[in-house]
Structure 1
Amino acid sequence: MSRRAERLAPVVDMALKAEREAARQLGLAQNQLLQAQRKLAELERFRGDYQQQWIERGQQGVSGQWLMNYQRFLSQLEAAVEQQNRSLDWQREVVDKARGAWQEKYARLEGLRKLVERYREEARLLEDKREQKQLDEFAQRLRPSAY
């Protein structure tokens, strides 16, 4: 391995650790987004069930007190759905930022890997040239001189 490539090894290791941590953070953010989506779906399903109760009870006739309680609870439920929608939007932003951070770390890591590979290739070519020069010199010494 070339000396330049060897000197970059700790930098590559650090970049790898940073990329893995960014990937872990992205995974956590995606899980939280999924949980927020599930919670919103649950709230919306509950709201639909509650509205269905209104239809069923409304056909039978309801008291004014029941209607007021229903409207109050439905209002609270609507507020919860609205708040969860805002939470979901915020969580999407968190995922987008985490994805951007991961992509940045990944690109840096890949750039460093390519640089190390280029250094190794350069070292290999130099070594090949050195060996060829030695072989040429050796072959020159073995040739009988014409004089």
Structure 2
Amino acid sequence: MAQSRAARLVPVVDMAEKAEREAARMLGRCQTQLGQVENQLNELHRYRGDYQKQLVNQGQQGVSGQWLINYQRFLSQLETAVAQQQRNVDFHRENLRKARDAWQACYTRLEGLRKLVQRYIEEARAADEKREQKQLDELAARLAARRTD
């Protein structure tokens, strides 16, 4: 009886394994995407730092008003790009958190199902052993009864 319960759960476990693998793949994709957008943000920060150093270097040699206006305009655009990329990073971090939570839920469900199947198998084994022991006891009792006759 318990063995058949375990056998009935095999398709459910298979589906849970498939869902867990898909959630793990999604988690991996989200981690990769986050890494890419973080790298892009770091590049923007590096570029902004380099560009700001250019002002210092250029400023020591003297700059025109027009150069300074263009510099400020470009720096403003660069700041906008940094802020937009930061929002992109935040978005991907949230996606990663959701993907990790989804994978964790799938994994927990899968492990619970595996434990349940194992428990059913152990119950079936114990029931089989109990049934065998009962049969052996009955056989021993019959043999003992025949010897006394």
TM-score (norm 1): 0.96
- The gaps in structure 1 that reach 5 residues or longer are none
- Following TM superposition, where does structure 1 have runs of at least 4 consecutive aligned residues deviating by more than 2 angstroms? 144-147
- The gaps in structure 2 that reach 5 residues or longer are none
Q: Give 3-state SS (helix, strand or coil) of 2:63's partner.
A: coil
RMSD: 1.2
Rounded to whole Å, the distance in 2 between the matches of 1:140 and 1:104 is 53
TM-score (norm 2): 0.95
Rounded to whole Å, the distance in 2 between the matches of 1:107 and 1:30 is 20
What letter is aligned with 1:33?
L
Deviation sequence 1:81-123 (CA, Å, 0-9, x none): 0111111111110000000100111111011101101110110
2:83 corresponds in structure 1 to 82
Deviation sequence 1:55-105 (CA, Å, 0-9, x none): 000010001111111111100000000111111111110000000100111
Q: How far 1:128 sits from its partner (Å)?
A: 0.3
Q: Give 3-state SS (helix, strand or coil) of 1:62's partner.
A: coil
What letter is aligned with 1:58?
G
- Equivalence map 1:38-53=2 (5 Å): 38-53=39-54
Rounded to whole Å, the distance in 2 between the matches of 1:74 and 1:62 is 16
Q: How far 1:146 sits from its partner (Å)?
A: 3.8
Rounded to whole Å, the distance in 2 between the matches of 1:28 and 1:34 is 10
- Equivalence map 1:88-127=2 (5 Å): 88-127=89-128
- Equivalence map 1:13-52=2 (5 Å): 13-52=14-53
Rounded to whole Å, the distance in 1 between the matches of 2:21 and 2:147 is 64
Rounded to whole Å, the distance in 2 between the matches of 1:58 and 1:75 is 18
What letter is aligned with 2:143?
L
Rounded to whole Å, the distance in 2 between the matches of 1:27 and 1:84 is 21
Count of residue pairs the alignment pairs up: 147
